[in-house]
Amino acid sequence: MVLRALRAAGESGRSPSLAELAAVTGLSRPTVEQVVESLLGAGYAAAAVNGDGTRAPRVGRPARRFRFRAEAGHLLGVEIGALRVAVLVSDLAGRRVGSAVRTATARTPAAERLALVEGAARAALMASGVARDSVRAVGVGSPGIMAADGSVRLCAALPGWTGLALGERLRAALGAPVVVENDANVAAVGERWRGTAVGCDDVVMVLAGLSPGAGSLIGGRVHRGYGGAAGEIGALHLLGRGATPESLLSTDGRPLAALDEAAVGRVFERARGGEALAGAAVERYVERLTHDVTALVLALDPELVVVGGWASGLDGVVEPLARELSRYCLRTPRVAASALGAEAIAWGALRMALDRVEAEMFAVHPPGGPAECGVRPE
Amino acid sequence: MVLRALRAAGESGRSPSLAELAAVTGLSRPTVEQVVESLLGAGYAAAAVNGDGTRAPRVGRPARRFRFRAEAGHLLGVEIGALRVAVLVSDLAGRRVGSAVRTATARTPAAERLALVEGAARAALMASGVARDSVRAVGVGSPGIMAADGSVRLCAALPGWTGLALGERLRAALGAPVVVENDANVAAVGERWRGTAVGCDDVVMVLAGLSPGAGSLIGGRVHRGYGGAAGEIGALHLLGRGATPESLLSTDGRPLAALDEAAVGRVFERARGGEALAGAAVERYVERLTHDVTALVLALDPELVVVGGWASGLDGVVEPLARELSRYCLRTPRVAASALGAEAIAWGALRMALDRVEAEMFAVHPPGGPAECGVRPE
């Protein structure tokens, strides 16, 4: 309670005194003092250099003030995609302190892709001046079905990914606990944390583009399904017209190259420029997307559908998608474009790492403080 | 705890003594004695006429033995459908003591349909010798989207149903608390209670037939969605080939009459008899059903798909559906036909009524016992 109060005060720029912490938490002053001493010892709290509380100290010795040491540890949020790997670094308050991106190809072998992650993580830490042993947890968003032990149960999108002990490999490489989750699921978490889904508990997140996937939150929690495959909608098009996004978006009769999201962006751009063939291609693509999303919406009845993914030009998708959905749904959800864009997955992954650390940080610890936090095997 | 122990003992045919109840619950004998006295007073327990415990009484006065009075109250489970209304009566142990069915048509007006429910309930109670004031709660499964207050938010299947204060009307008519839920959702609950989904927490229940609907359990609980519309898959076919079940099942170019489930049964029967046109019609219908179910399965990733509904002949659907699903799903769920058949909805509704009564019965009550149980406005 004291730690939460300290951190909440820090978010609004205040450094509370012991008396204020006692008032906020409802604990006795001696108890608060004891806890704060233990937090000081564990490094989660520090004496504030300047008393910057809102109330001026009374006469006599100014009250000691304290702050949450957000710099006491750091987190990594990792996006692993077919075409790129991205890493975000934050402090314990979830504030961004650095990032790095590495490009890949759809053919990059697994070992090489893992090395890209490690390289991006090192670069992001170095650029932000964060020591490697300050990393308390790593969150990872990856395509595919993830097992509870952090291995990849099934992944068609990345070569060598099925069966990979992803969590274990990255824990060994990065020296911190690793939480692994499906990319669309973590994107939903990211958008709910600090994107367009803030305040929404029932969310469908669609990663549009050429390898469509979806994630969902039900009651604010990730819905994985019985076998972790919930939202793996890649096969939906087989049921409809059987056409792939690559062929739907073609303007010359030849399908786009697999996973060439840049080509998707170009078709969208030409459509916006008024080119008829591109306009028709985008229309076909939106119809297909509507099909996929409607199926999800009819099954789940979310409050909000967030459309994201790497394809640029998605801003042209939201309005027709919302219009089409209202034709098919008994209750039509709100539709919004991702606010975090390409960073939704990395932010969501980072949020899951923070969840893990907070669960430990805010756990009730035996006297001696939360010394067992930090690196610990999964 | 004592009440649960009494009821559990009753399910295996035993009437425990105070000492046995104390041993099972871990409570002291004086406490158990006090609770049992209060349960005797409230009518939930009775002295067992014959000591039928497994251990013979020791020398001296035989120990008093007690049993759960399952007859202390009763429950109704109500199915409201386009073509029929059905009522099940059970005691507090969930044992069936009576039932009644009334036929309707797709055009039956709302007031008349409500009167059918009331008539069926009276008939079922009378046939089972249960007094009306013994009914502790009523569960109702109805097509459409139900609001939290028991009114119908939206229902396309039954005339006059949208906006109807269904729970309130039935509470007034039947004199007991009423729990209202979507029919496919309660069917899932019923199948999990005593049907083909026993032991499964993640279930998709498909009511096939001419007005398809679906319900789902996630983690053992009904998934209603943000606006109660989850599983309203009736519009899915608009996305695919645009064909209705009535036209898919036609063998003469003219669609079947709307909601004529008997005609569906006849087509299935002719197909089983080897008639080519009927076989082709069933094939088209199964393909459409596969489409709907696949969309649900990809979105939710359930452990089990239960296929039910009023259409006879559904036994011919399970095997091809399971085969088709495995083509599209990264993780294929088990597929099974409903074990409760036409009674799945009424049993599920009854289970929801029992849940409500148990929540009150097993709540920790102030001294004086659970006297406030029973009829109480919603």
* ipTM, 2 dp: 0.80
Pick from A242-256, A309-323, A352-366, B108-122: least confident: A309-323
Tokens of A346: 């990395």
- The C-alpha angle B95, B98, B101, rounded to 5 degrees, equals 130
pLDDT for position A1: 84
Tens of pLDDT, residues A260-294: 777 888 888 898 899 999 999 888 888 888 888 88
- pLDDT greater than 80 at residue B55: no
Tens of pLDDT, residues B86-107: 999 999 999 999 999 999 998 9
* Of A225, A301, A303, Cβ closest to residue B302: A225
Pairing of strands A135-142, A74-80: parallel
Alpha-carbon distance values, B113 to B104, B117, B261 (Å)? 7, 6, 19
Tens of pLDDT, residues A74-131: 999 999 998 899 999 999 999 999 999 999 998 999 999 999 999 999 999 999 999 9
More confident site: A264 or A221: A221
Cβ neighbors of A8 (< 8 A, separation 6 or more) are: none
Number of CB pairs < 8 Å for A and B? 140
Residue contact B227–A295, C-beta within 8 A: no
Tell me what the mean pLDDT of segment B166-189 comes to: 96
Architecture in CATH of A199-338: 2-Layer Sandwich (3.30)
Pick from A142-156, B69-83, B87-101, B363-377: least confident: B363-377
Tokens of A163: 């069966």
Tens of pLDDT, residues A22-49: 998 899 999 999 999 988 988 889 988 7
Q: Is A302 touching B (CB cutoff 8 A)?
A: yes
- Residues of chain B by 3-state class (helix, strand, coil), percent to 5: 45, 20, 40
Tell me what the mean pLDDT of segment A228-242 comes to: 69
Tell me what the mean pLDDT of segment A292-315 comes to: 83
In chain B, what residues touch A231 (CB-CB under 8 Å)?
Answer: 298-299, 301
pLDDT for position A244: 77
Q: Which fold has domain B73-188+344-361?
A: Nucleotidyltransferase; domain 5 (3.30.420)
Tell me what the mean pLDDT of segment A123-152 comes to: 95
Which residues does residue B213 pair with via DSSP β-bridges, in sequence order? B207
Residue contact A301–B227, C-beta within 8 A: yes
With tokens 């079940």, the residue in question is: B245
Q: What are the contacts of A52-56 at 24+ separation with CB within 8 A? A: A52/A13, A52/A14, A52/A15, A53/A14, A53/A15, A53/A16, A53/A17, A53/A20, A54/A14, A55/A20
In chain A, what residues touch B328 (CB-CB under 8 Å)?
Answer: 235-236, 238-239
pLDDT for position B12: 82
Closest Cα partner for B272 from B331, B314, B316?
B316
CATH of domain B2-68: 1.10.10
* Domain A73-187+344-361, classified CATH 3.40.50.720, yes or no: no
Tell me what the mean pLDDT of segment A220-236 comes to: 86
**CATH 1.10.10 placement within chain B:** 2-68
Cβ atoms of B145 and B154 closer than 8 Å: yes
**CATH 3.30.420.40 placement within chain A:** 73-187+344-361, 199-338
pLDDT for position A368: 44
Residues 184-213 on A with a CB inside 8 Å of B are 201-202
pLDDT confidence tier of residue A369, bands split at 50, 70 and 90: very low
- pLDDT greater than 50 at residue B70: yes
**CATH 3.30.420.40 placement within chain B:** 73-188+344-361, 198-338
- pLDDT greater than 60 at residue A295: yes
- pLDDT greater than 50 at residue A373: no
- pLDDT greater than 60 at residue B374: no
pLDDT for position A307: 92
pLDDT for position B181: 96
Cβ atoms of B213 and B207 closer than 8 Å: yes
Cβ neighbors of A367 (< 8 A, separation 6 or more) are: A38
* Of B227, B234, B301, Cβ closest to residue A230: B301
Enter the DSSP assignment of B259. T
pLDDT for position A267: 86
pLDDT for position B367: 43
Pick from A200-204, A253-257, B309-313: least confident: B309-313
Q: Is A296 touching B (CB cutoff 8 A)?
A: yes
pLDDT confidence tier of residue B2, bands split at 50, 70 and 90: confident
pLDDT for position A43: 87
pLDDT for position A357: 92
d(Cα B39, Cα B29) in Å, to the nearest integer?
15
pLDDT confidence tier of residue B376, bands split at 50, 70 and 90: very low
pLDDT for position A377: 38
- pLDDT greater than 50 at residue B375: no
In chain A, what residues touch B290 (CB-CB under 8 Å)?
Answer: 239
Residues in chain A: 378
Tell me what the mean pLDDT of segment B304-312 comes to: 79
More confident site: A323 or A151: A151
Tell me what the mean pLDDT of segment A321-348 comes to: 90
Tokens of A151: 């291995």
In a mutagenesis test of the B interface, which of A202, A331, A334, A335 is the best target, namely the one with the most B β-carbons within 10 Å?
A331
Q: Is B236 touching A (CB cutoff 8 A)?
A: yes
- pLDDT greater than 90 at residue B371: no
In chain A, what residues touch B301 (CB-CB under 8 Å)?
Answer: 224-232
Please tell me which residue of chain A has the smallest CA distance to B204. Answer: A299
d(Cα B360, Cα B373) in Å, to the nearest integer?
6
Tell me what the mean pLDDT of segment B204-211 comes to: 84
* Other residues' Cβ atoms within 10 Å of the Cβ of residue A199: 7
* Domain B198-338, classified CATH 3.30.420.40, yes or no: yes
